[in-house]
Amino acid sequence: MAESPEQQPPVQAFGWAARDTSGVLTPFKFSRRATGDKDVTFKVLYCGICHSDLHQNVLKTGNRVEPEKAPGHGSPVEPSGQPHEIVGVITEVGTKVKKFKVGDRVGVGGIVWSCHTCEDCSNNLENYCPKLVLTYNSTYYDGTPTYGGYSDLMVVDEHFVIAIPENLPLDACAPLLCAGITTYSPLRHFGLDRAGMHVGVVGLGGLGHTAVKFAKAFGVKVTVISTSPGKKQEATERLGADSFLISRDPDQMQAAMGTMDGIIDTVSAQHPLLPLIGLLKSHGKLVMVGALDKPLELPVFPLLMGRKIVAGSGGGGIKETQEMINFAAKHNITADIELIPMDYVNTAMERLVKADVRYRFVIDIGNTLKAV
C-alpha cells in the first residue's frame, strides 16, 4: 500500500461534494495523500455521473433519494457525492511504479484498494473482495477518505489504474469504467458473448445502451426490452439493436416467449420479473445489474420449468476492466454522453432522478473545475 499521510505530507486538492444533509454539492478543499512508491497521481480531466451517485446524496427533489452505506471498507464519510468514472493524464509516478509513466492517459473506476490475498483477489475479482475500498463514500485502511473524482487530481495505487488507448476519447470513455464493465462482465462471464446468441437488454439508459453496444460487437442478436415505445427508433436505428419489445404489450411479449439465451436487466426501479423469465429459453439466464433499493418478487416455478437462472453481477475486476477498455478501443465503443461544466452538477443530479439524460452526464473537470 502507498505510504500513509503520516509518512509523507498530504497534497492539497479541491473539488465538489455534498457536505450536509441537503445533498447539494458545493466546492471545498481537502487533502490527498502524497504520491507513494506504488502510486500514480493524475490530473482529472473528465468524470462521469453514475446513477449510483444518487444513492450517496439526499437530493432536493420530489423524488427523494436517501443516502445509504456503500459496500466498501469503512463507514460512509462526509463529504459525500464522490463519483467513480474518472479519467485523466498522469502527472507523477512513484519510484516503484512499473506500468505507467508521466503523460499516460489513465482511468479509475469503482475500486481503489483490495486485500490482494483473498480468493476473489487471487482470481482477479477485486470487485468482490470482502475488504475492497471503493472510490467513493469509503475510507482507506489508514482512515483517510477516498473522495472520488469531482476533484482536480487523484492519487491511486497503480494496480487499480486502467490504461486508456489513444484512439478512445477521454470524455466518452469515462462511463465505460462503470457502465461499460458492469455490462461487459456479465456478457462474458455467463457466456452471452458468442456470435449468433440472442440476448435481451432491459432498459435503455446509461447501462442499457452500453450493453447493446458490447453485445453487438460480440456478434450477438440483441433485443431491447423497454416500457417506452418512443425508444424503438433510437434502439434499432442508432444503436443497432435487432429488435425492440414493449414490455407492457402482452401480445409482443407472448410472441417472444422462449426465444432468448440470456437477458441483461439494467433497470434500477421496481418491475416484474415473471415476464422476463418467460422470454428465456430453457437454461436461459436473467442477469441483474441494476441497483434496486427494494426487493423484487421472484417467482420460482417458472425457473424450475426450464432450469433457468436469475443471477447478479457487480462491476468487474481490474484485469477484466482493462480487457473491456481494450475491446472498446478495438471496436470503437464509447458511451453516449452529455458533456457539462462542473457547476451544472446539481442540476444534472436533479435531471438524473428523472432519467432526463441520453445516456450519461460527463463533467468537463479539466476545463471547468475552479480552484477554491
The strand pairing partners of 339, in sequence order, are 362
My answer on whether 353 and 303 are in the same domain is no
In a domain, 323, yes or no: no
My answer on whether 18 and 133 are in the same domain is yes
H or E segment to which residue 290 belongs: none
My answer on whether 169 and 233 are in the same domain is no
Query: What's the structural domain count of the chain?
Result: 2
- Which CATH number does the domain housing residue 169 bear? 3.90.180.10
My answer on whether 198 and 171 are in the same domain is no
In a domain, 189, yes or no: yes
The strand pairing partners of 30, in sequence order, are 13
Contact 35, 92 (CB under 8 A): yes
320: amino acid identity, one letter? E
Domain of 285, in residue numbers:
179-312
In a domain, 112, yes or no: yes
In a domain, 26, yes or no: yes
My answer on whether 136 and 184 are in the same domain is no
The residues, ordered by sequence, that sit 6+ positions from 136 with a Cβ below 8 Å of its Cβ are: 53, 56, 70, 80, 82, 83, 84, 110, 146, 147, 148
My answer on whether 154 and 187 are in the same domain is no
My answer on whether 159 and 195 are in the same domain is no
H or E segment to which residue 301 belongs: helix 301-304
In a domain, 99, yes or no: yes
- 236: which DSSP letter? I
- Which CATH number does the domain housing residue 299 bear? 3.40.50.720
In a domain, 317, yes or no: no
| Alpha-carbon separation of residue 134 from 70, 83, 138, 233, 370 (angstroms) | 8, 10, 6, 37, 25
The residues, ordered by sequence, that sit 6+ positions from 82 with a Cβ below 8 Å of its Cβ are: 17, 56, 135, 136, 137, 145, 146, 147, 148, 149, 150
My answer on whether 194 and 223 are in the same domain is yes
In a domain, 318, yes or no: no
Per-residue pLDDT of the chain (372 residues; tens, 9 = 90+): 444 434 678 899 999 988 777 778 999 999 999 999 999 999 999 999 987 666 555 443 333 334 344 344 434 445 555 689 999 999 999 999 999 999 999 999 999 999 999 999 999 999 999 999 999 878 887 788 888 899 999 999 999 999 999 999 999 999 999 999 999 999 999 999 999 999 999 999 999 999 999 999 999 999 999 999 999 999 999 999 999 999 999 999 999 999 999 999 999 889 999 999 999 999 999 999 998 878 999 999 999 999 999 999 999 999 999 999 999 999 999 999 999 999 999 999 999 988 899 999 999 999 999 988
